[in-house]
Amino acid sequence: MNRRMFLKWLGGGAIAGVMAFSAIGVQRVAAQPAGRMEARTASAPQSKDELHRKPRFLRRALIRATADLTGLTHQAVVEQVRGGRSLAQVAQDKTKTGDDIVNAVANKAKERLDRAVAAGKLTQVRADNLLARLREAATRIVNTPGQARDE
């Protein structure tokens, strides 16, 4: 078998494989109940568990910021949150506020977003939208007891 025939054979097999797997994927999506599909596309999380899964990176950043602002260790902050306290309550013990935590994380995110806008990877409108959503989610996490669990 020469090289040209091998490439045709390989290309045909790859196309057949992609078609077979895409057909399986289409069948799986079509077989899902409508409610499950809606839950994926909904903008607001549906359950408390989903709130804990989605913004894991944000929770960790908020815990780090709380530890930095209060002078506590990461583990000490996590233990207090697991004990049912909010990050805002942990910060208040050290004369800081929940807004201080949110601002610390938002300022770091703004720096990264500004670099992305300068590099042309993101529009300023999109960056502003992302920053507003981050602030909203961060405020909710910081003020809800037990919400910032770091698992």
Per-residue model confidence as pLDDT tens digits over 50-106: 444 556 888 899 999 999 999 999 999 999 999 999 999 999 988 899 999 999 999
DSSP structure string for 96-136: --HHHHHHHHHHHHHHHHHHHHHTTSS-HHHHHHHHHHHHH
Judgement on whether residues 88 and 130 belong to the same structural domain of the protein = yes
Q: How many CB atoms lie within 10 A of CB 66?
A: 29
The residue ranking higher by pLDDT, 52 or 135, is 135
CB-count exposure of residue 105 (10 Å: 0-12, 13-18, 19+): buried
- Which residue range(s) make up the domain with 18? 3-31
Judgement on whether residues 11 and 72 belong to the same structural domain of the protein = no
Judgement on whether residues 56 and 126 belong to the same structural domain of the protein = yes
- Banded pLDDT at 7 (limits 50, 70, 90): low
Q: What is the pLDDT of residue 57?
A: 85
- CA atoms of 51 and 148, how far apart (whole Å): 10
Q: How many CB atoms lie within 10 A of CB 127?
A: 19
Q: What is the pTM of this model?
A: 0.61
pLDDT at 41 over 60: no
- Banded pLDDT at 23 (limits 50, 70, 90): very low
- CA atoms of 72 and 49, how far apart (whole Å): 27
pLDDT at 38 over 90: no
Number of domains making up the chain: 2
Judgement on whether residues 126 and 61 belong to the same structural domain of the protein = yes
Q: Is residue 149 one of the residues assigned to a domain? A: no
Judgement on whether residues 76 and 139 belong to the same structural domain of the protein = yes
Q: Is residue 72 one of the residues assigned to a domain? A: yes
Judgement on whether residues 16 and 52 belong to the same structural domain of the protein = no
Q: Is residue 40 one of the residues assigned to a domain? A: no
- CA atoms of 123 and 113, how far apart (whole Å): 9
- In whole numbers, what is the pLDDT of the chain averaged over residues? 75
Q: Is residue 139 one of the residues assigned to a domain? A: yes
Judgement on whether residues 60 and 130 belong to the same structural domain of the protein = yes
Judgement on whether residues 10 and 76 belong to the same structural domain of the protein = no
pLDDT at 113 over 50: yes
